Amino acid sequence: MSKILEGLKYSESHEWVKVEGDIAVVGVSDFAQKEMGDITYVDLPEADDEVTAGEEFGALESVKASSDLISPVSGTVVEVNADLEDAPEKVNEDAYGSWIIKVKMSDPSELDALLDAAGYKALIGE
């Protein structure tokens, strides 16, 4: 069983969002990290990059796969989790403790289109 945290928003492409004012903190779900297996690299954007809801902003890599990270919201990247550059395994160890980017949202109403914990649980069917 994958861990799903209450109080977070989830995308269908398995990113989670924690809302802190007009900032969206984005990571990937426990389900996603399990599907990937051992993550060997997190391809991060740079601060000040623009991201768009539904479009890729980076990627998770394992030995034999690469999976795009899809932004759940639109806005400007204000911070990236540089710890993951040297320690991608943190995403495997604690998917919810390992945020990937923080986005200053340009359109917070996009959050309404995301799933809540129950909806996400139904999506992954566990």
Partner 1 sequence: MKYYDKLIFELSKEGRVGYSLPVNQFPQAPEVPVQLRRAQPLRLPQVSEPDVVRHYTNLSQMNFGVDTGFYPLGSCTMKYNPKINEEMAALPGFAGLHPLMHAGLTKGALKVYQEMNKALSAITGMYAFTFDPCAGAHGELTGLMIMRQYHMNRGDMKRTKVIVPDSAHGTNPASAAVCGLEVVEVKSLENGRIDVEALKPLLTDEIAGIMMTNPNTLGLFETEIKTIAKLVHDAGGLLYYDGANMNPLMGVVRPGDMGFDIMHLNLHKTFSTPHGGGGPGSGPVGVAQHLEDCLPDIRVSGFHGNFGVILRAYAYILSLGKQHLRKVGQYSVLSANYIKESLKDVYKLPIEGVCKHEFVFDGLVNDGAHDDVPGATTLDVAKRLLDYGFHAPTIYFPLLFHQALMIEPTETESLETIDSFIAVMRKIAAEAAQDPEILRQAPHNAPITRPDETLAARNPVLKYEW
Partner 2 sequence: MLEKIGVKKLEDLYSDVPAEFLKKGAYALPDALSEQQIRDYFASLEAMNAKLKVFVGAGAYDHYTPAVIPYITSRSEFLTAYTPYQCEISQGTLRYIFEYQSLMCELTSLDVSNASMYDGPTAAAEAMKMAVACARKKNRVLLSCALLPHVIKVVETYAKFHGVAIGYVPAPDGQTSLEALKAELAQDDVAGVIVPSVNRYGIIEDHTGFADAIHAEKGLLVEYCDPSALAVVKTPGEWGADIAVGDGQSLGLPLCYGGPYVGFMTVKKEHMRKMPGRIVGQTVDKQGRRAFVLTLQAREQHIKREKATSNICSNESLMALWVTVYLSLMGPEGLKEVNRISSDGAHYLYSELLKTGQFEEVFPDKPFLKEFVLKPKKFPGLMQQRLEKAGFFAALDTEEGYVSFCVTEKRTKEEIDLLVKTVKEG
Q: Which residues bind partner 2 (CB under 8 A)?
A: 40-41, 43, 59, 61-66
Question: How many other C-beta atoms can be found within 10 angstroms of the C-beta atom of residue 56?
Answer: 15
Please check whether residue 15 is in contact with residue 69, taking contact to mean a CB–CB distance below 8 angstroms.
yes
Q: Is 63 in the site for partner 1 (CB under 8 A)?
A: yes
CB of 118 to partner 1, least distance (A): 30
- In the bound state with partner 1, the residue whose beta carbon lies nearer, of 40 and 76, is 40
* Size of residue set near partner 1 by CB under 8 A: 9
Partners of residue 51 on adjacent β-strands: 75
- In the bound state with partner 1, the residue whose beta carbon lies nearer, of 62 and 106, is 62
Q: Is 89 in the site for partner 1 (CB under 8 A)?
A: yes
Q: Is 64 in the site for partner 1 (CB under 8 A)?
A: yes
Q: Closest Cα to residue 16, out of 37, 31, 34, 1? A: 31
Degrees (nearest 5) of the Cα angle 55, 113, 35? Answer: 60
The only residue of 3, 22, 34, 38 in contact with partner 1, by rule CB under 8 A: 38
Write down the residue that tokens 């400007």 correspond to. 76
Please check whether residue 69 is in contact with residue 56, taking contact to mean a CB–CB distance below 8 angstroms.
yes
66 binds, among partner 2, partner 1, none (CB under 5 to 8 A by kind): partner 2
Binding site for partner 1 (CB under 8 A): 38, 40-41, 61-64, 88-89
